[in-house]
Amino acid sequence: MTSTPTVDLADRFRRHAEMSDRMGAPLYAALTRAMADDWAAGGVVRTICAGWDEATESDLVSLRFLGSLHRLVLTGRAPSLVAYYRNLGGTRAPDDVWPVARSVIEAFADDIRADLAVVPQTNEVGRSVALLVALFRAAAQTGLTRIRLLEVGASAGLNLLIDRYRFEGPGWSWGPAESPVCFDVDATVEARPIEIVARRGCDLEPVDPTTPAGRLRLKSFVWPDNVERYRRLEGALDVAARWPVRVDRSEVSPWLRERLAESVDDDVLTVVWHSVVWQYLDPVARRESESVIAAAAERMPLAHASMEPADLSRAADIVLTLTTYDAGQASTTELGRPHPHGLPLRLSSGAAS
Ligand SMILES: C[S@@+](CC[C@H](N)C(=O)[O-])C[C@H]1O[C@@H](n2cnc3c(N)ncnc32)[C@H](O)[C@@H]1O
The ligand 1 atom at the shortest distance from the C-alpha of residue 307 is 8
Residue range 195-232, pLDDT digits in tens: 999 999 999 999 999 999 999 999 999 999 999 999 99
Q: Does the pLDDT value for residue 277 go beyond 70?
A: yes
Q: Does the pLDDT value for residue 5 go beyond 60?
A: no
At 350 the pLDDT is 73
Taking CA atoms only, the protein residue closest to ligand 1 atom 9 is 123
What spacing in Å lies between the alpha carbon of 274 and ligand 1's midpoint? 8
The stretch 147-169 carries a mean pLDDT of 98
Residue range 15-45, pLDDT digits in tens: 999 999 999 999 999 999 999 999 999 999 9
- What contacts 306, CB < 8 A, 6 or more positions away? 273, 274, 275, 278, 319, 320, 321, 322, 323
At 327 the pLDDT is 82
**pLDDT band, residue 1 (cuts 50/70/90):** very low
What percentage of the chain has pLDDT greater than the value 90? 91
Q: How far apart are the first and last CA of the chain?
A: 64
The ligand 1 atom at the shortest distance from the C-alpha of residue 281 is 19
Query: What residue ranges line ligand 1, CB within 6 angstroms?
Result: 121-124, 127, 153-155, 202-205, 251-252, 275-277, 280-281
At 312 the pLDDT is 73
Residue range 290-333, pLDDT digits in tens: 999 999 999 999 999 999 999 877 667 899 999 999 887 999 99
User: H or E segment at 241?
Assistant: helix 227-242
Count the helix, strand and coil residues of the chain and give each as a percent rounded to the nearest 5. 45, 20, 40
| C-alpha span between 221 and 210 (Å, rounded) | 17
- What contacts 79, CB < 8 A, 6 or more positions away? none
**344 preceded by cis ω (within 30°)?**
yes
DSSP per-residue letters across 143-201: ---EEEEEEES-TT-GGGGGGGSEEEETTEEES-TT-S-EEE-SS-------EEEEEEE
Q: Does the pLDDT value for residue 347 go beyond 60?
A: yes
**pLDDT band, residue 138 (cuts 50/70/90):** very high
At 58 the pLDDT is 85
Three-state SS string over 53-72 comes to CCCCHHHCHHHHHHHHHHHH
Q: What is the pTM of this model?
A: 0.94
Single-letter amino acid code for the residue at 351:
A
| C-alpha span between 35 and 37 (Å, rounded) | 5
Distances (CA, A) of 130 to 97, 170, 226, 248, 351: 37, 16, 19, 23, 11
What spacing in Å lies between the alpha carbon of 204 and ligand 1's midpoint? 7
Residue range 54-91, pLDDT digits in tens: 888 888 999 999 999 999 999 999 999 999 999 999 99
Select from 265, 332, 271 the least CA-distant residue to 297.
271
The ligand 1 atom at the shortest distance from the C-alpha of residue 285 is 19
CA angle, residues 164, 165, 170, in degrees to nearest 5: 140
| C-alpha span between 271 and 150 (Å, rounded) | 6
For the chain, the average pLDDT equals: 95
Tell me 2's DSSP state.
Answer: P
Tell me 84's DSSP state.
Answer: G
Residue 270 near residue 264, CB atoms below 8 Å:
yes
Taking CA atoms only, the protein residue closest to ligand 1 atom 1 is 276
What spacing in Å lies between the alpha carbon of 106 and ligand 1's midpoint? 33
The stretch 263-269 carries a mean pLDDT of 96
